[in-house]
Homo-oligomer: A and B are copies of this chain.
Amino acid sequence: MKPVIGSVSLLFYFVKSCRASGADIALDAKATLLHRIDSLNLLIYTCLLTLTVLTIWVFKHRRVSWLHETGLAVIYGLIVGAIIRYAGSTNQVTYLDAHPEPNAKYNLSVPPDIVRFHFPDKIQISSGEIPVPNKTYAYSFRGEIVNLEQNEIDLKATFDPEIFFNIILPPIIFHAGYCLKRKYFFRNLGAILTFAMVGTALSALVIGSLMYGCVQLMPASLAASFTFLDTLYFGALISPTDPLTVLAIFSQLKVDVNLYAMIFGESVLNDAVALVLSGAIQNYEKRYSTDGGFEITAFLAAIGDFIGIFSLSLLVGAFIGCLTALISKFTHVRDWPLLESALFVLMSYAAFLIAEVCELTGVVAVLFCGICQAHYTYNNLSSDSRNRTKQLFELLNFLAENFIFTYIGVSMFTFPKHHFDPWFIIAGFLTSTLGRAINIYPLSFLLNLGRKPPIPMNFQHMLFFSGLRGAMSFALAIRNTVSEARQAMLTTTSLVVIATVVLQGGAASHALAYLRIPTGQGQSDESEALPYRDVRSPAEISFGLQNMDSTHSPSSDRASDTPRGSGDGGGEKARLARLWGAIDSKLLKPLLTHARPPLTETLPAFLRPLARLLTTTRQYTQGDNGLRRTDSDSDLCIDEPQPVPTTIDPQQLWPGLVDTRISVEGITGSNI
């Protein structure tokens, strides 16, 4: 430090007068303070999540299963939210009223983006100096003020609701798509689509109508502020289910895989459906209010919106997924796993952004992108990238999921725009239960008319029981809290989410026992019962090195082949599934992955030149030893490596291995 101290005199010499007004310094201090408050908010959530992780460890360690980590996150969130609300000091926000400048020429129909605010600086630095002239500050648009009071805790541990749609939900939804156990998903596609598409719409409509009726009967002043569209919106947002906790217990107890696939698949899709549905309702609202009357065209346009946005988002996601598969097939980027993983993540994120830019629904795009990535791209990836992308999204999903549930808890106390109306809350609980019942029972009845192994009654009860509400409902409810009606919806939704996650989630294993749903399927079927094989399984890690094209052991192929021909889904749905399977295994898989048979064998003769162009040498050369792999792929099953012969007994090394798997299933069997 000698040279530094030696240069003090130099410094002395050079420093000249440097002017800064008192307001500048105060502003700097203010900015620092705001930054510290932001950091503190984040720190609160980080600590809460850390606490949740540690407690969950204790619970798993002591084999406590009546509380899932999401329930725990909610409870911790509630406690800390209450502390912040009642013990924390209020961060004072300063307000000032302003009017447009008298002689400003404005012909704007909307408030401007930026207000240039001329504010007189009152502080004079020292008596000798001239007062600083008025300064101009930029103020950016934030929103309409409806209630002029109750703004003190505006900055307390709350975030812009849009972060849920742009940051928190995408990785959760992508992960759900990426780890979907596609074999059972496709086998139960009919039931899943019925419950998710028809069921969600039906449930939204029923809840919306019933709530509208309830609201009209209420003595409260709230009644006037609800339109039917509002209650319909409430129906749409409360309909999607999020059976995280139930699925965790399913994995643990090895419940029937078809039941698992139905509940998981439905909850993945009904999130997407509810999101698009609520968007269509809002669009309808806009159109309607512009035109000034209810019109059949506006209504049809809303349905068109729904179908159009859903299918276009699906296409965007699937297209990007397939593009990634093509890139990873025809380039050798897999030689550089880091580049490959980066490409994978960037492309998947691009699917979200492209959909958002096109005014579609990014979350839906990201879901189908995830499914395509798992189905095609995953096969082309290097084993390192497979591990890395899975582990990355698993971790992101875990953190995002627990964050959102913590936030639901904290915001119950700190979010300023809650409106507690007991009647509305009671009505909300009753109608959402009824809506779930109307989703499951009538549709199961209809499905059972055409379904070969019908859905038994106790499965139907379990499907009904799995109607927990979660992240998507909350994110939709908090998106818009301008009116009192919307605030009441948010409060009710938060309470429904908290109650279902904590209580229903806690009672799930008892419900299984009460309904006499068989658990503990044979060990041989274990690998099938798990929706998503744990990448952390030591066997696989030890195996990661070997050729990725032959990661299937014969036993797994047998297991996935056997049920297919003889299996459940007879009738038309199975025919559809078989048609799709044929297209997939003869056209898409050979085109997008290195799977056999190559396109040169499956395409008609006149397309041979094209087929040759699209077939890699690897597809030709892998020849016979690629045969096995083709079999397993054509079964639409995610090709997770099965435990392979290894010299080390995992049980010996990792005493907690069985629990590890269970815990991971609990986490990864999520879909929000």
Query: A392 CA to B395 CA in the complex, in Å?
Result: 9
**Given A145-B136, A333-B54, does the pair A117, B115 have CB atoms closer than 8 Å?**
yes
Does A544 contact B542, Cβ atoms closer than 8 Å? yes
Check if B338 sits within 8 Å of A394, measured CB to CB. Answer: yes
Given contacts A18-B227, A342-B395, A391-B392, 9 further A-B contacts (CB under 8 A): A10-B205, A25-B286, A28-B286, A96-B108, A96-B116, A137-B142, A137-B144, A338-B395, A383-B541
A188 to B42, CA, bound (A): 37
In this assembly, does A150 line the interface, its C-beta being within 8 Å of a C-beta of chain B? no
Contacts of A94 in B (CB 8 A): 108, 110, 112-114
A195 to B268, CA, bound (A): 55
Interface residues of A in 368-423 (CB under 8 A from B): 382-384, 387-388, 391-392, 394-395, 398-399
Question: Would you call A40 and B357 a contact (CB within 8 A)?
Answer: yes
- Cα distance A339–B545 in the bound complex, in angstroms: 25
Q: Which residues of B contact A205 (CB under 8 A)?
A: 3-4, 7, 10
Considering the chains assembled together, what is the distance between the CA atoms of A543 and B545 in angstroms? 9
Give the contact stretch, choosing among A251-259, A346-354, A599-607.
A346-354
Tell me if A97 counts as interface (CB < 8 A to partner B): yes
Mask: chain A, 197-222; 1 = CB below 8 Å from B; 0 = not: 11001100100010010000000000
Contacting B at CB under 8 A, from A89-144, are 93-102, 104, 106-119, 121-123, 125-126, 135-144
Residues A104 and B96 in contact, CB atoms below 8 Å apart: yes
Of B49, B337, B362, the contact of A536 (CB 8 Å cutoff): B337
What are the residues of chain B within 8 A of A343 when measuring CB–CB?
A: 50, 53-54
Tell me whether A43 and B97 are in contact (CB under 8 A).
no
Question: Given A10-B209, A139-B141, A392-B392, are A536 and B338 neighbors across the interface (CB < 8 Å)?
Answer: yes
Q: Which residues of B are found within 8 Å of A114, using beta-carbon distances? A: 93-96, 142
Contact between chains at B198 and A3 (CB < 8 Å): yes
Q: How far is the CA of A259 from the CA of B113 in the complex (A)?
A: 54
Taken together as a complex, chains A and B put the C-alpha atoms of A148 and B144 apart, in Å, by: 26
Query: With A137-B143, A140-B140 as given contacts, are A30 and B538 in contact (CB-CB < 8 Å)?
Result: no
Interface 9-mer from A462-470, A513-521, A609-617, A652-660: A652-660
A445 to chain B, nearest CB (A): 13
Is A539 interfacial (CB-CB < 8 Å)? yes
Please give the distance in Å from A523's CB to the nearest CB on chain B. 21
Q: Verify A145–B137 contact, CB threshold 8 A.
A: yes
Contact of A144 among B138, B141, B209 (CB under 8 A): B138
Which stretch from A238-246, A287-295, A587-595 is at the chain B interface? Answer: A287-295
Residues of B within 8 A of A535 (CB): 384
In the complex, are the beta carbons of A98 and B110 less than 8 A apart? no
Q: Which residues of B contact A655 (CB under 8 A)?
A: 335
Known: A116-B96, A227-B15. A336 touches B663 (CB 8 A): yes
A142 CB contacts on chain B under 8 angstroms:
114, 137-140
**Which residues of chain B have C-beta atoms less than 8 A from A303's C-beta?**
4
How far, in Å, is A150 (CB) from chain B's closest CB? 13
Give the docked Cα–Cα distance between A50 and B39 (Å): 31
A359 within 8 A of B: yes
Q: Does A331 contact B (CB under 8 A)?
A: yes
Minimum CB distance partner of A212 in chain B: B14
In the complex, which residue of chain B has the Cβ closest to the Cβ of A3? B202
B43 A353 Cβ-Cβ under 8 A: yes
CB nearest to A208 among chain B residues: B14
Q: Which of A56-64, A489-497, A633-641 contacts B (4 or more CB under 8 A)?
A: A56-64
B356 with A35: CB separation less than 8 A: yes
Contact, CB under 8 Å: B93 / A97:
no
Known: A94-B113, A294-B12. A336 touches B23 (CB 8 A): no
Asked if A87 lies at the interface with its beta carbon under 8 angstroms from chain B, I say no
| CB atoms of A663 and B97 under 8 A apart | no
Does the CB pair A388–B395 fall under 8 Å? yes
Q: Which of B60, B118, B327, B357 contacts A99 (CB 8 A)?
A: B118
Nearest B-chain residue to A213, judged by Cβ:
B14
16 pairs, CB–CB < 8 Å, chain A vs chain B: A1-B201, A11-B228, A27-B144, A30-B110, A39-B357, A53-B342, A54-B327, A57-B332, A95-B115, A98-B101, A98-B115, A126-B292, A138-B142, A139-B139, A342-B399, A545-B646
Partner of A162, one of B20, B35, B136: B35
Q: In the assembled complex, how far is the CB of residue A548 from the closest CB belonging to chain B, in whole angstroms?
A: 9
Residue A449 CB within 8 A of the other chain:
no
B101 contacts A101, C-beta separation under 8 Å: no
Q: CB within 8 Å of B: which of A1-47?
A: 1, 3-4, 7-8, 10-12, 14-20, 22-23, 25-28, 30, 32, 35-36, 39-40, 42-43, 46-47
Q: Which residue of B lies closest to A32 (CB)?
A: B359
Whether, in the assembled complex, A667 has its beta carbon less than 8 Å from a beta carbon of chain B, the answer is yes
Instruction: Check: A579 CB closer than 8 A to any chain B CB.
Output: no
**Residue in B50, B162, B353, B382 whose beta carbon sits within 8 Å of that of A347 in the complex:** B50
Mark A609-632 against chain B: 1 for CB-CB distance below 8 A, else 0.
000000000000000000000000
CB of A279 to closest CB in B, whole Å: 11
With contacts A111-B119, A145-B136 known, is A20 near B289, CB below 8 A?
A: yes
> Which B residues are in CB contact (< 8 Å) with A198?
1, 3-4
Select A663's contact among B106, B121, B338, beta carbons within 8 Å: B338
Q: Do residues B202 and A335 form an inter-chain contact, with CB atoms below 8 A?
A: no
> Given B18, B99, B102, B212, which contacts A289 in the complex, CB threshold below 8 Å?
B18
- Select from chain B the residue with minimum beta-carbon distance to A165: B35
For the complex of A and B, list the 7 residue pairs with the smallest distance between their C-beta atoms, beginning with the closest: A335-B656, A139-B139, A542-B545, A541-B544, A39-B356, A14-B228, A96-B112
Report yes or no: A332 in contact with B61, Cβ–Cβ below 8 A.
Answer: yes
Distance, CA A444 to CA B119, complexed state (A):
54
Q: Are A56 and B339 in contact (CB under 8 A)?
A: yes
Q: Which of B49, B140, B382, B543 makes the CB contact (< 8 A) with A139?
A: B140
Cross-chain contact B109 with A50 (CB below 8 angstroms): no
Q: Mark A45-87, 1 if CB is under 8 A from B, else 0.
A: 0110110011011001100000000000000000000000000
A345 contacts chain B at the CB level, 8 A cutoff: yes
Choose one: B8, B23, B388; the contact of A110 (CB below 8 Å). Answer: B23
